[in-house]
Structure 1
Amino acid sequence: MSALSGIVVLELSRVLAGPWCGMILADLGADVIKLEPFDGDDTRGLGPPFKDGLSAYFACCNRNKRSVAIDLRSPAARPLLEALVREADVLIENYRTGTAETLGVGFDGLAAINPRLVYCSISGYGRDGPGAMRPGYDYVVQAQAGLMSITGQAEGEPHKVGVAVSDLATGQNAAIAILAALRHRDRTGQGQRIDVSLFDSQLAALANVGSSALFTGEDAGRYGNAHASIVPYQAFHGRDGAFVLAVASEKLWLQTCDALGREDWLRDPRYVNNAARVRHRDALCAEMQAVFENESCAHWLALFESAGVPCAPINSVKQALEDPVALARGMRMEIGGVPMVGSPLHLTLTPVRYERAPPDLGQHSDEIAAHYGMDAAALRAAGAIR
């Protein structure tokens, strides 16, 4: 029995934020039915790479789901859609504002069919406010919500993060909100509408950087691989490459100095505490770099590991996926010959499930039509499904 067994989710979303939310719920046991247009989710075509016609992009966020290829504009599709809605617990959509209503899947209309429905809208800038009609893409939100301004080398140009973190944070926030709404529905019997946006999610994810700007009234800067308010907490270069060191407490600073045999740093008033080290970061980090360049990265990593100081090599993606921690934690898995990164959610009594490979477009159209007592061949002939 999975945590969300018995929960039915209709996913009318595409690309990443909505499907990421749907996959979280599916991994936890929900029956997620992905309603796709006849040409499918956009990410089915985003590649290479492909494996037997399946894009890696689509595979990353669509396991454990069933797919129905349906034309929501077709009147012949309406009986099947309404049957799905009556049985559903959750609906996820990420259309442009107003499009869901045009397609007949807006909140008010579906809530009239099923008042217990938890309806989650995902958008770029929210369903109200001055950005409501704007399309939302991770890249432009990283730019507008401040993330790019703090990413990249201090003297260089702003950079986006190498993965769509605004989309991913939004998908996770949507899943959290859905679980909260289901809990409320369990107590009251009432469904509700959820409004989650990429912009809001990314702004909130600025975390301490956003808080610092509010505290000081000053803009945040870029620090490259260093940290704005913790020193030393950055990348250093050994004789043969780079590694990262994270000295995030006074205890760790003591351990670092002990490991390096530099008790003089403990007595230096410039380095007496973190606030002092932040003020004198250039001097300290230059001294540390002069030490590190004399030995290999492996030497320093072994030294700091032994001393209990957080450190790590700067792995490639392939190296990270092959890391012993990734293997031991079950973070590499495969379903039906499709390799995927596993779920980070580890529950002792209701573990996540890995049952369905990412579906082919419309793979389950006939199965789902039959479940509701409808003739799939007739629906197909009427142009309702594929």
Structure 2
Amino acid sequence: MKRGGPLEGVRVVELTKVWAGPYTGKQLAFLGAEVIRVESLGSLDVTRVYGVDDINNAPGFKAVNPQKLSVQIDMKTEAGIKLLLDLLAEADVVVENLRPGAVTRLGLGYEQVKAVNPDIVYVSMGMYGSEGPLSYQTGYAPCFAALGGLSSLVGYEGEAPTGMNIRYADSTFGTTAAFATTVALLHRRRTGEGQFIDVSAVESMTSMIGDAVMDFTLNGKVAACDGNRHAEMAPHGVFPCQDGEWISIAVTDNVAWQRLVNAMQAPELAEYASLADRKAREDELEARVSAWTSTQKAESLAEQLQQCGVAASKSLSSLDLIANQQLWLRRFYQQVSDQHGQSRSILGPSWKMSRMASVVDDAPALGQHNDYVLGEILGLTEQQQQELAAAGVTR
């Protein structure tokens, strides 16, 4: 089915597990690519099985695999590897985030795949990448965030780091790989050359804190936890409101500060006209803002501040997010159909563009697209498919 989008006509084969690798495929699918997950009953993704009875109705798997196809190929068999190489010969991109060295041992390394498809864009995702003294190590999102330096910055001033939401690491790593893939595809369109893309999770995380890294490199200064504060904005934080709710406020410049002073009806604070003044008295200012917000309703206060030009938002719970009409109107949430034709809501693409791809399908059932991949793409007859299934190669 034609879905439009800038990557319409691009075929991606996914040899991925858990979250970061599948998230790369998710972004590419949302851009219009045909993304084929290679799976097998004997080596199921943990997100298909963890805490559920139905491998085709696992929330974790569904969250990161909408608009993809699923084909069963057992990569532990010689026949399965041959079949997979045939599929890769028909692909534009392959994405893998298996354990270090696994694809090469299987006969699916870059040089081996390049031999059957010289202009393939081969995307390899590892904690430390595929080269260097630590490239043998494997890890998950908490490792990415910690080793990349982010976790050490998440916490309150004067206290030990508290860490961060682990999915930030996986989704950021996955998005980095997706971006690199699109750049490589553009390069291939211009030159006809494929590429090997080596993406490091740790390096991806470190790129998110370039200011802290450069401050240490140039000045020897080690960044410390500072809560919700911001070097170029003050006040900048989350403040208590009535009924146990909270509001985030970010004073972006001196004009916004004067507007906040007016909203607070606190003319005595106007003397802190510059950022330097406000940063020097930040504890005092935050206490004053908190005393004021604690007497207000978060939602109405956020609307009041937005109307007068101060960046503010009520801190939203999961229920608040789902009920937010603006997010629905902006198609942050979209409806897709599962393998039974039932409709469900998903988080849609996080972007708007003139050539949007339609997103219509839920995450696939295991092997849901065997007939299409094995029959239409690879040209196998029904009898050949039955023989492969009976031999355990395609299940």
TM-score range with shorter-chain normalisation? over 0.9
Q: Which range is displaced more, 56-65 or 217-226? A: 217-226
Deviations 1:141-198, CA, capped at 9 Å, x for gaps: 2122221111123344322322411111111111111111111111221111001111
Name the counterpart of 1:26: 29
CA contact (8 A) 2:258 2:273 kept: no
Question: For the structure 1 residues 331 and 22, does the alpha-carbon distance in structure 2 shift closer, same or farther, using more than 3 Å as the test?
Answer: same
3-state SS in 1 of match to 2:115: helix
Deviations 1:57-109, CA, capped at 9 Å, x for gaps: 11111111111121122122244222211111000001122110111110001
Question: d(CA) in 2 for partners of 1:294 and 1:356?
Answer: 46
Deviations 1:101-122, CA, capped at 9 Å, x for gaps: 1111100011011111000001
Name the counterpart of 1:265: 269
Question: d(CA) in 1 for partners of 2:217 and 2:287?
Answer: 31
Match of 1:168 among 144, 166, 171: 171
Counterpart check, 1:251 vs 2:252: no
Question: For the structure 1 residues 177 and 299, does the alpha-carbon distance in structure 2 shift closer, same or farther, using more than 3 Å as the test?
Answer: closer
Question: For the structure 1 residues 47 and 162, does the alpha-carbon distance in structure 2 shift closer, same or farther, using more than 3 Å as the test?
Answer: farther
Identity %: 31
Question: What TM-score results when the alignment is normalised by the length of structure 1?
Answer: 0.93
Counterpart check, 1:200 vs 2:209: no
Match of 1:181 among 180, 184, 190: 184
Count of residue correspondences: 381
Question: d(CA) in 1 for partners of 2:54 and 2:82?
Answer: 35
Question: d(CA) in 2 for partners of 1:94 and 1:13?
Answer: 5
Question: d(CA) in 2 for partners of 1:53 and 1:182?
Answer: 32
Name the counterpart of 1:300: 301
Counterpart check, 1:285 vs 2:286: yes
Q: Shift of residue 275 of structure 1?
A: 2.2
Name the counterpart of 2:126: 123
Counterpart check, 1:96 vs 2:102: no
Question: For the structure 1 residues 129 and 314, does the alpha-carbon distance in structure 2 shift closer, same or farther, using more than 3 Å as the test?
Answer: same
Q: Shift of residue 223 of structure 1?
A: 2.0
Alignment of 1:233-244 (within 5 A): 233-240=236-243, 241-244=245-248
Match of 1:339 among 308, 320, 345: 345
CA contact (8 A) 1:345 1:352 kept: no
Question: d(CA) in 1 for partners of 2:217 and 2:327?
Answer: 37
3-state SS in 2 of match to 1:32: strand
Question: d(CA) in 2 for partners of 1:306 and 1:355?
Answer: 37
Name the counterpart of 1:191: 194
3-state SS in 2 of match to 1:205: helix
Q: Shift of residue 6 of structure 1?
A: 1.1
Question: For the structure 1 residues 320 and 129, does the alpha-carbon distance in structure 2 shift closer, same or farther, using more than 3 Å as the test?
Answer: same
Match of 1:58 among 58, 61, 85: 61
CA RMSD of aligned residues (A): 2.0
Counterpart check, 1:150 vs 2:153: yes
Question: d(CA) in 1 for partners of 2:344 and 2:51?
Answer: 15
Q: Which runs of 5+ in 1 are unaligned?
A: none
Name the counterpart of 2:340: none
Q: Which range is displaced more, 224-233 or 338-347? A: 224-233
CA contact (8 A) 2:212 2:222 kept: no
Question: For the structure 1 residues 51 and 82, does the alpha-carbon distance in structure 2 shift closer, same or farther, using more than 3 Å as the test?
Answer: closer
3-state SS in 2 of match to 1:219: coil
Name the counterpart of 1:355: 360
Name the counterpart of 2:47: 43
Q: Which runs of 5+ in 2 are unaligned?
A: 338-342
Amino acid at match of 1:86: A
3-state SS in 2 of match to 1:125: coil
Amino acid at match of 2:79: A
CA contact (8 A) 2:141 2:166 kept: no
CA contact (8 A) 1:33 1:68 kept: yes
Counterpart check, 1:377 vs 2:380: no
Question: For the structure 1 residues 47 and 346, does the alpha-carbon distance in structure 2 shift closer, same or farther, using more than 3 Å as the test?
Answer: farther
Q: Which range is displaced more, 87-96 or 144-153? A: 144-153
3-state SS in 2 of match to 1:60: helix
3-state SS in 2 of match to 1:353: coil
Question: d(CA) in 2 for partners of 1:365 and 1:52?
Answer: 17
Amino acid at match of 2:256: L
CA contact (8 A) 1:47 1:57 kept: no
